[in-house]
Amino acid sequence: MNRLFFTLTLLVITSNLSASAIELKEGLVIRSSATIIAKTYYLNAAANLKNPLIIVDGKDIELDFSYAVLQGSNNISGPDEMYGLALYIKKGSSNITIKNAIIRGFKIAIMGEDVLNINIINCNLSYNYRQHLKSNLIREDISDWMSYHKNENDEWLRYGAGIYLKNCRGPVIKNNVVTNGQCGLMLVCCQNAEITDNNFSFNSGIGIGLYRSSFNNIVHNRLDYNVRGYSFGKYKRGQDSAGLLLFEQCNSNLIAFNSATHSGDGFFLWAGQSTMDTGEGGSNENFVFGNDFSYAPTNGIEITFSKNLIMQNTIKDCDHGLWGGYSYDTDITDNVFANNRIGIAIEHGQNINIALNKFTGEKTGIKLWSREKQPEDWIYAKKRNTESRNYWIAANQFSHVGTAFDIMGTDTVVLSGNAKLATNEILKLGERVSNMDTSTEGEILDMDYQPDARLKKITYHEAPLSDIPRGKNEMRITEWGPYNFEYPILWLQNTDSMGIKHFEILGKAGNWAINKIKGFELLAQGGNSFPSGISLKTDSSVTERILELVYDGPPHIKQLGDSSAKTSDTFSYHEFDPAIEWKINWYQWDAAHHPANGYLPFTEIFQNNPFLSKTSKTVDFTWWGAIEKNLPADSFATVAETHVLLKEN
């Protein structure tokens, strides 16, 4: 094997002898094939994305970076301040190959627009832009929610990306790595892409995202741990992060043999705002086959307002295995669901086939329902029939499931040949159910099917396996995104009823020792290798508390991408907990005192008695509906006051 590798290396070098060897510099325009002289280039791009650092312009160009490192944003302190576009393939270019590049420290690493046959191969575009998250271990901050509803003017660029392609035909994206950023690969109005064998994992937003992009093959990629908005045992929001995102008129894509585990949604598909506004179109005829979408805090698969084929996927330990609101003409066949709260949940679905699936350990296997009235502002509901109707549910297996079928508000459901083992409740019927047919439920069905012909055009794989820990308890969301198991970290696992804090001490290799303790009493600790743990009792008389450990082990890449020396590398936990009591008053306002009418009319409401008053140690209200039963859902103001000594002299 070593001899084969050496031969291949010689061939690559020989093929590039005719290409010119160049150094990177600001404003460089490349119009012919070239090899980049291998070294680290510290180059800052323009603050905006309209003036790229480097431009590729022309046809039949191969650019081999030879693993040179292009480092941008050299004058900033955090990933949320990273700026600029590193490499831009200019409009009208064709047959462009970018390979062996290492680009980091930019808002966008590589961008191509109106390019025919762009190939991005074996590049590492990790440690580029990502937001500074405000959600923490104990509470969610709703400002962390992402939104993809509009991208007609490249609004998605605000989230950054390793690769951003627009109006490109036939791109090949292969063997690339984009980790520890916010978004990996984003395709806008692209067609006929081949996206294979990439690793777009451990990002705080999206692994692969599509917008108005169709007829693409996304096969055998690692898209794990693309997640935010989650704290194990505290909250599970996801905040619209996803391993795979298909948003707004994305049709006839093949999504096969990918691992998109531990992501906000494993697979997130939506018809698009144009469908909601017109009732037309959708994200339709996508074939989702043989993927692993397990361990999503929210939905393993979300498919809404569209028709698609979902087959032979694995979806374990999610809130919903599959959420299919307003799906129609959709087949859900031969998938494995296990230990989800609800295996398949569909509201207002129509003409749905659910067959040959296995459900194990679900609280509810299949839940179908509708509401009596649609939202008044939904044009979709005015243009389309949104009844819940016409389900064929056949030859599924239920084992150790709480309720196999929970159905309400639905017309015409046929249950046929479904097997149940150790299932507490077979069929739960709510109101407004009609034409329920269980006449063939006791039969044994001999069923088979032929997978979509699109599979014949690709190599058969299994979803890629890796040695990353599996399970929702392994998702630890730091202020910069998901922990990637590559560097030492001190993680507060929980605070028990006695007020004792229990920490995990995690790292890839090496040893640790206590360097500093302030405001804590050490109660117990594990061994000095990784993983380990430590338990501390809080000294309530101290407002600032610190636990600092020192790492001794092999070099590694730290959280923000910088390299660590072997010794004297510290990592810590810090909390500032002053004794605060907030006095909180709520005031209600009406149309005459609407804040939009000006500051003075609005402040008149504070001359009245508060609608509700209370004291609290924190001001961290997050709510859907009303904060509590004594408050309205909206049109109120909150005034919180306290006195605190921030620093002792």
CB atoms within 10 A of CB 35: 20
d(CA 433, CA 426): 16
291: burial class by Cβ within 10 Å (0-12, 13-18, 19+)?
Answer: buried
**In this structure, which amino acid lies at residue 136?**
N
201: burial class by Cβ within 10 Å (0-12, 13-18, 19+)?
Answer: buried
- pLDDT of amino acid 5: 27
Q: Provide the token pair at 581.
A: 């009591």
d(CA 298, CA 227): 10
What per-residue string of b and e applies to 324-354 under the rule 16 or more CB within 10 Å gives b?
bebbbbbbbbbbbbbbbebbbbbbbbbebbb
521: burial class by Cβ within 10 Å (0-12, 13-18, 19+)?
Answer: exposed
Q: Provide the token pair at 169.
A: 């035909």
Q: Please, are residues 287 and 255 in contact by the beta-carbon 8 Å criterion? A: yes
- Residues whose CB is less than 8 angstroms from the CB of residue 595 and which lie 6 or more positions away in sequence, other chains included: 589, 602
For the chain, percent helix, then strand, then coil, each to nearest 5? 10, 40, 50
DSSP state of 442: T
Q: Look at residue 167 and give its three-state secondary structure.
A: coil
pLDDT, tens digit, for every residue of 377-418? 899 999 999 999 999 999 999 999 999 999 999 999 999 999
Among residues 566, 562, 522, 568, the alpha carbon closest in space to that of 549 is found at 568
Phi, psi of 205 (to 5 degrees): -135, -85
**In this structure, which amino acid lies at residue 413?**
V
292: burial class by Cβ within 10 Å (0-12, 13-18, 19+)?
Answer: buried
Predicted model pTM: 0.91
Positions of the chain with pLDDT under 70 = 1-18, 564-568, 622, 646-649
d(CA 327, CA 303): 7
Q: Please, are residues 28 and 51 in contact by the beta-carbon 8 Å criterion? A: no
- What is the residue-wise DSSP string for 389-435? EEEEEES-EEES-SEEEEE-S-EEEEEES-EEES-SEEEEE-SS-EE
d(CA 215, CA 381): 28
Q: Please, are residues 437 and 427 in contact by the beta-carbon 8 Å criterion? A: no
- Residues whose CB is less than 8 angstroms from the CB of residue 411 and which lie 6 or more positions away in sequence, other chains included: 387, 388, 389, 390, 433, 434, 435
d(CA 276, CA 416): 34
d(CA 211, CA 190): 8
Q: Please, are residues 293 and 315 in contact by the beta-carbon 8 Å criterion? A: yes
Q: Please, are residues 238 and 298 in contact by the beta-carbon 8 Å criterion? A: yes
Query: Strand runs (DSSP E) across 220-348, as ranges?
Result: 230-231, 235-236, 242-247, 254-256, 265-270, 286-289, 299-304, 308-311, 314-316, 320-323, 328-333, 336-338, 342-347
460: Cα within 13 Å, side-chain hemisphere? 4
352: Cα within 13 Å, side-chain hemisphere? 33
Q: Provide the token pair at 5.
A: 């590798």
Q: Please, are residues 549 and 515 in contact by the beta-carbon 8 Å criterion? A: yes
d(CA 461, CA 156): 32
Query: How many angstroms separate the first and last alpha carbons of the chain?
Result: 67
- pLDDT of amino acid 622: 67
- pLDDT of amino acid 8: 28
Q: Please, are residues 282 and 249 in contact by the beta-carbon 8 Å criterion? A: yes
- pLDDT of amino acid 10: 28
Q: Provide the token pair at 248.
A: 């707004």
